[in-house]
Amino acid sequence: MSKQQAALIQALGAHAYVDPEIFKAEQNLVFASTWQYACHVEKLASPGDYLVCEIATESIILIRENDTTINAFYNVCPHRASRLLEAEGCKKRIACPYHAWTFNTRGELISAPNAQNVAGFEISNYRLKACRVETLHGLVFVNLDDDAELLKQLAPEMLSDLEAFAPHLPELTFVHRTEALLECNWKVAIENYAECYHCELIHKELTGGVLDMDSYRIQNFAQSQKHLSGSQSGEKRVYAFEDTSATDFVAWWLWPNFSFQSYPGGRMHCWNWTPLAVDRTHLTVDWYFPSPELADWERELIRHHAATTFREDSSVMALVQQGLSSRAYESGPLMIDAEKSQYSEHAVAAIQQLWRDAMGADNE
């Protein structure tokens, strides 16, 4: 189709980013029915290791049962609803803090005080409510939708790249978290992540000293997106890296709010955007390295990323959220360039279509 014939694609209306009712509906229609990143397997290394995390406003317990199985349960007692655990630790038994009903790591009730004297009470009738959990190459994901498709089937291209770009990921160790409380809706943040139309203007060091923008490509898949770029040559690099077998930048985003990246030099980090309010999003970037003892260039990579690209995006996203609340704005055109994907907003269009599919026509 020629440029003249193609119809412009219009971005999602501003109300999708500012309406608290839509934000509430997204918890069910988007976050409770998609794979949500919980942690690296390092957090659940031994039987009984557990971690409590929040998924779609629900408190969820992840607990390792044995060498091969990690279970996920709603953090609610089937007796009279008390929360069971908080934070993280290691327990072979989960004892409720209210009346001491006690569960094993499979979620089965194994004791309840005075149960033998209560007519009609059967211990085997009670257990913690489970939810879906899947471990992909060292990354643990949870899904509150019992009917969800297996994650490895939803994003097979992402999985094979994860194994190729980060072959040792399951054995890597957490070294640093870069985080921010973003003053914007979660979709503003992931749409910003999905395009590099803004990169040369906003990220001078990234585009001049890390990436080779001529080689940058952004590719859509069914529920994921891939960014791939070569890196700047030696003398232009803003940080020096030693591993010349990993010179590319690669990023994979998974619908709706997770991504992993590897920067030139082959250092992995996982991104997770947690929506807190219609105009507030918590972004965490967790870095996983081969050793907790950082080399100078690894320390410089983390510092440089936080001080440039990460901070620059945080500022511009706040500006977008302010404009979305204006009565002067409803929606603008997405700048789709089929030839130059590094300057195109086709991945934003794909995200907005996934959102429309999840939310249904009533919320458009």
Q: Which of helix, strand or coil describes residue 284? A: strand
* Residue 302 one-letter amino acid: I
Picked from Fe ion, ligand FES, none, the partner binding residue 98 (CB below 5 to 8 A depending on kind) is ligand FES
Size of interface with Fe ion, in residues (CB under 5 A): 1
Picked from ligand FES, Fe ion, none, the partner binding residue 253 (CB below 5 to 8 A depending on kind) is none
Picked from Fe ion, ligand FES, none, the partner binding residue 79 (CB below 5 to 8 A depending on kind) is ligand FES
Give min distance, CB of 100 to ligand FES, in A: 6
- Considering only the stretches 12-20, 132-140, 225-233, 307-315, report the one whose residues sit in contact with Fe ion under the rule CB under 5 A: 307-315
Give min distance, CB of 125 to ligand FES, in A: 14
**Residues lying near ligand FES in the complex (CB under 6 A):** 77, 79-80, 82, 96, 98-99, 101
Q: 93 vs 99, which CB is nearer to ligand FES?
A: 99
Detail the DSSP E strand segments found in 91-161: 93-95, 102-104, 109-111, 130-136, 139-143
Q: 40 vs 203, which CB is nearer to Fe ion?
A: 203
Picked from ligand FES, Fe ion, none, the partner binding residue 101 (CB below 5 to 8 A depending on kind) is ligand FES
- Tell me how far apart the alpha carbons of residues 170 and 162 are, in angstroms, rounded to a whole number: 11
Q: 78 vs 209, which CB is nearer to ligand FES?
A: 78
Distance between start and end Cα atoms, the chain: 27
**289 bridge partner residues:** 173
Detail the DSSP E strand segments found in the chain: 9-10, 36-40, 49-55, 58-64, 70-74, 88-90, 93-95, 102-104, 109-111, 130-136, 139-143, 173-182, 211-220, 224-231, 249-254, 258-263, 267-277, 280-289, 333-334
Q: 16 vs 63, which CB is nearer to ligand FES?
A: 63
Taking CB under 5 A as the rule, does residue 313 contact Fe ion?
yes
Give the nearest residue (CB) to Fe ion.
Answer: 313
Q: CB of 196 within 8 A of CB of 253?
A: no
Q: 148 vs 316, which CB is nearer to Fe ion?
A: 316
- Tell me how far apart the alpha carbons of residues 271 and 283 are, in angstroms, rounded to a whole number: 7
Picked from ligand FES, Fe ion, none, the partner binding residue 313 (CB below 5 to 8 A depending on kind) is Fe ion
Give min distance, CB of 96 to ligand FES, in A: 3
Q: CB burial class (10 A; 0-12, 13-18, 19+) of residue 282?
A: middle
**333 bridge partner residues:** 10
Q: 163 vs 200, which CB is nearer to Fe ion?
A: 200
Q: 26 vs 313, which CB is nearer to Fe ion?
A: 313
Q: Which residues bind Fe ion (CB under 5 A)?
A: 313
